[in-house]
Amino acid sequence: MKNLYQEAKNCFLTDDPDEKLELSLEIAGAWNSDLLEWKEGDSVLNDPPLQLKQPGHPDKPVLVEVSKLKNRGFKSVQQRASLIHALAHIELTAVNLSWDSIYRYRHLPKEYYDDWVQTAKEETQHFYLLRQSLRDMGYDYGDFPAHNELWQMAVTTADDLMARMAIVHRVLEARALDVVPFSVEKFRSIGDSKTADSLVIIANDEIGHVNSGTRWFRYRCEQEQVDPDKMFFTLIKKYLKSTPKGPFNREARIKAGFSLAEMQELERLDTAYKQERKIKNMNR
């Protein structure tokens, strides 16, 4: 019987996106059919995790700094394709993140691996949806440059499951809960209902993905006997240059496991930031 962790590692290290995505779905199917072994609790694993730093990646897209990327928008087909390309790259990165979270973190309840296998499967399906939209526009994955900030933060938080769940999933991934609904309306307004419908599927699934991050963040907080609401902002201060900026989709974030106290603090910090900027602009 094949081992879940080894299969996750193989998928993570696969360079070709088509092969990676096909393998991702195969592993998810095998896991859901109870065809992969795994060990829980304090069992000694035969293959302890390596400290993998980079996932397998094709020659394209070229990875650049965020500052070097052109502004995306909705005015032209190229701008819209660039936006969809950016989302597709995030989804492929999320596939790598899911398999890395399975391979890297051991001795967790089976439900943890259930969550991230399901997330890997859905992120794979999201990539397929977005790639089809790209092809409908006359482009394909790799035609635009992309940035690697999401994965870089995954590396930064790799040694701490609590931080990985909080920062990668509850800050960076959660941003999709706020911005994707706006893109849905924009694509509908220009008559691209197919892309809009794909984005609705993605937005709904992302609530579950962020909720998985919330669940295992709080699981670790409970193990370490710390207040999760306070710890969330402690980790933001430790790993990020600034707090997340609004507007926030409160309804979606509550569904994704954010507490009312967390939402109130996020909104308070956002309001304070905007007021500070307003004062600075007035004094110029």
Residue-wise pLDDT for 216-247, tens only, equals 999 999 999 999 999 999 999 999 999 999 99
Give the pLDDT band of residue 51 (cuts 50, 70, 90).
confident
Mean per-residue pLDDT over the chain, rounded: 93
| Kind plus residue range of the DSSP H or E element containing 2 | strand 2-3
* pLDDT for 1: 80
pLDDT at 171 over 50: yes
- Write down the domain spans for the chain: 2-282
Task: Choose among 78, 50, 72, 70: nearest CA to 179.
Answer: 72
* pLDDT for 42: 40
Distances in whole angstroms, Cα of residue 121 to Cα of each of 88, 97, 125, 126, 188: 14, 12, 6, 9, 27
Report residue 37: phi and psi, to 5°. -85, 155
pLDDT at 166 over 80: yes
What's the whole-number mean pLDDT along residues 50-78?
A: 89
Give SS3 for 36.
strand
* pLDDT for 165: 98
Q: Is 71 left (phi over 0), alpha (psi -120 to 50) or beta?
A: beta
* pLDDT for 73: 84
* pLDDT for 44: 45
Task: Report how far residue 139's alpha carbon sits from residue 83's, in angstroms, rounded to the nearest whole number.
Answer: 12
Confirm if 162 and 218 have CB atoms less than 8 A apart. no
